[in-house]
Amino acid sequence: MPLTIEYEGTLYRPPSEGNSLILQATIGCSWNECSFCAMYREKRFRVRRIEELAAEIEAARDQLGATVRKVFLADGDALIAKASYLHAILDLLRTAFPRLRRVSCYASPQALQIRTVDEMSALREAGLTQYYLGVESGHDTVLERMQKGVDAAEMIRVANKAKDAGIKLSTMILLGAGGAELSLEHARESGRVISAIDPRFVSTLVVTPVAGTPLGDDAERGDFVPMDPIALTHELREFVAHTDVSGAVFRSNHASNYLPLGGTLPKDKARIVETLDAVLNAPDAAPFTPEQFRGL
């Protein structure tokens, strides 16, 4: 039986949460400033009432029963809500779903600035074990243009707070965010920052200017020019080559990518770099995803 939760507005989730029960703990994103992000522009940020979540969890338990093992707390940065509210949700989830293995959410850098290590640690013990963090770039100019609200040093600091709390971090880098002008510096600095964060998961997305966002406006004026698949492949190659992590799953399988790749770093680093070099040496034969099959 399909689950009958009425979600408010468009719902977004990471690709790896495709089989998770999704609950909107918050509506929208409290930051909502990133120049490329169109996800929550139409939503005014608010924390939902716990009674609404309780009713949805009860409905999900009635319809899905013990099958629920993974829950994703939407929308943009549920972690910014008060710790007591998040604990209340986690208590309800643990009671409703005895086989629950993981609760995860997006975490904005701003939420990570606010949360203490002790709070995140206590929430992890209650079940909130994984955050998705849009690092986007390790280059300060690119981060400023993307209006992330933090520079690279601050991104590393707040990400490491979460790691100190024992949180599994899944980080995203935005290919093409520096445009052609800053491409390779953006790639190398992003590799440096991801190495300093040393997350469990690393993925890449390709920036896509969307109408109605500051980046979309820049693209319309010609101030931002999206990069072609070959230049993006070069950027991805440099990013992977400059990423030294102790053990992370790497994916470029988000629908926005031109080349779906995957592996484990550092084990598969040389193979991934070789694959990308082979593409760059024979770009006409490259298996790029056709433009019409790409998504945001």
Contact positions vs ligand SF4 (CB under 6 A)? 29, 31-34, 37, 39-40, 76-77, 108, 134
Cα diameter, the chain: 58
- Please identify, using beta-carbon distances, which residue of 34 and 100 lies nearer to ligand SF4: 34
- Please identify, using beta-carbon distances, which residue of 37 and 123 lies nearer to ligand SF4: 37
- Please identify, using beta-carbon distances, which residue of 134 and 229 lies nearer to ligand SF4: 134
Q: Minimum Å distance from CB 54 to ligand SF4? A: 25
What SS3 state is found at 34? Answer: coil
- Please identify, using beta-carbon distances, which residue of 100 and 105 lies nearer to ligand SF4: 105
Q: Minimum Å distance from CB 45 to ligand SF4? A: 9
Rg of the chain's alpha carbons, rounded to an integer?
19
The DSSP letter of residue 255 is T
Find out whether 103 and 129 touch, Cβ atoms under 8 Å.
yes
Q: Minimum Å distance from CB 32 to ligand SF4? A: 5
Q: Minimum Å distance from CB 31 to ligand SF4? A: 4
**What burial class does residue 140 get, using C-beta atoms within 10 Å of its C-beta: 0-12 exposed, 13-18 middle, 19+ buried?**
middle
Instruction: Give me 178's structure tokens.
Output: 């520096």
- Alpha helices, DSSP H, located in the chain: 50-64, 83-96, 109-114, 117-125, 140-145, 152-164, 179-197, 214-221, 229-241, 269-281
- Please identify, using beta-carbon distances, which residue of 33 and 185 lies nearer to ligand SF4: 33
Q: Minimum Å distance from CB 134 to ligand SF4? A: 5
